[in-house]
Amino acid sequence: MRIVLGIGGGIAAYKAALLLRLFTESGHTVVPVPTEAALRFVGAPTWEALSGQRVSTDVFDRVDEVNHVHQGQAADLVVVAPATADLLARAAHGHADDLLTTTLLATRAPVLFAPAMHTEMWLNPAVQANVAQLRAHGHTVLEPADGRLTGPDSGPGRLPEPEVVRDAALRLAGDGGAPDGPLAGTRVLVSAGGTREPLDPVRFLGNRSSGKQGVAIAAAARDAGAAVTLVAAHLETPVPAGVEVVHAGTAEQLRRACVRAAARADVVVMAAAVADYRPARIADAKLKKAEDGSNPVLELVRNPDILKELVDLRNTARRRQLLVGFAAETGDAETDPLTFGRRKLVRKGCDLLAVNHVGENLVFGQDTTTLTVLSAAGAPEQVLEGSKTDVARGLVARIAQELAGVRAGA
């Protein structure tokens, strides 16, 4: 496989040299394309010695070969590591002012960006908007690692370790991760965490979901060989390396992200805790207590049923797609959680529904859980229990089994 390795101008460029070595040791041809700024951190002789390829940054180099287009056309995979804030911005807006950005515009190969910058820069709304734009273009942008940065600083923004970037890149190209895994060659969408519906600039309606189970499912699907997109609402756990992450705050934001990602997914797992209702109006300023002591009246409107919408879209497009829903149920004085779950399975129209019994001291935020998997096809109910990692692996194994049946019946 021919891999173009784009290198941005950041201190983490030294890790890109280790990444290059990992690729070449796996038998791949690597063409380094650094920016001018990157060469101030690691010089051209290093890239040429490690790759055996001539290094250039200039679109006017090798004009007779139309090199600024050829590199992108010939690539099977493009990896940009480190992807600096400036490089993300130029790529997101289609700039073509050096060999790397022209290569990005000219390629039809999968593209993976591995960002690296200080925490404040990574969290800046402009950078997050550029990341969202790149993902909307179909590119994969990894979440940076959380750890030691340049100097005494620490936080999210650290370039993931070279092995993590390599594994994510090869999975994206269908040439790595778990080539014999049960989900090899599939695209999996997982939603996780709890949505938050704003009341005013400081308050919101939310829920107790930590996102641990959805994150564990995303990691288990990754380990099974799938290319994973994680649509993340509010999380109280780190996102897994090697998966594409799309952040969403409200139910509507999560809906848009899921509809977009589901269009190219083989499997959809809706594990997020989505608010059923949102305030009809969001106050522009913080709501104050009434001076007369009266209680406020809050008008709520129903949020869209995302799982049902995805089922309808799947059926309308006649996609061979497996849809898995989640039902967090408390039961009541007359009905147990599983009965509610069975009704929901029929109402939603999904293929599998994972039901768990929840409450203030049950499941939410805990490291262990119990899921009962219900099947629309009438298969026996399956109970998965243990750590959330073990339960996630059990659910992924069930998904692989069901997906094989979907494809066999196509």
| Binding-site entries for CTP | 276, 286, 304-307, 326, 344, 348
Catalytic residue among 67, 130, 207, 303, which?
A: 207
Residues that constitute the known binding site: 276, 286, 304-307, 326, 344, 348
Q: Which residue in this structure is represented by tokens 């869209």?
A: 304
Query: Largest alpha-carbon pair distance within the chain?
Result: 81
Q: 282: number of CA atoms within 13 Å, CB side?
A: 13
Asked if residue 282 lies in contact with residue 198, where contact means CB atoms within 8 angstroms, the answer is: yes
Q: Which two tokens stand for residue 186?
A: 């599939």
Inter-residue contact 64 to 71 (CB < 8 Å): no
Q: Residue 15 and residue 99: Cα distance in Å, rounded? A: 21
Specify whether the CB–CB gap between 133 and 106 falls below 8 A. Answer: no
Instruction: Report CA dihedral (310, 315, 320, 324) to the nearest 10 degrees.
Output: 40
DSSP state of 39: G
CB distance 399 to 189 below 8 Å: no
Are the C-beta atoms of 374 and 367 separated by less than 8 Å?
Answer: no
Report whether 19 contacts 126 (CB < 8 A). Answer: no
DSSP for 260-316 reads HHHTT-SEEEE-SB--SEEESS--SSPPPPPTT-PPP---EEEPP-HHHHHHHHHHH
Beta strands 277-279 and 300-302 are antiparallel
The end-to-end CA distance of the chain, in Å, is 31
Say which residue the tokens 């996630």 belong to.
392
Phi, psi of 371 (to 5 degrees): -120, 140
Q: Which of 57, 112, 52 is nearest to 80 (CA)?
A: 112
Chain CA centroid to CA 223, Å: 14
Q: Is 207 a catalytic residue?
A: yes
Q: Which residues are catalytic?
A: 207
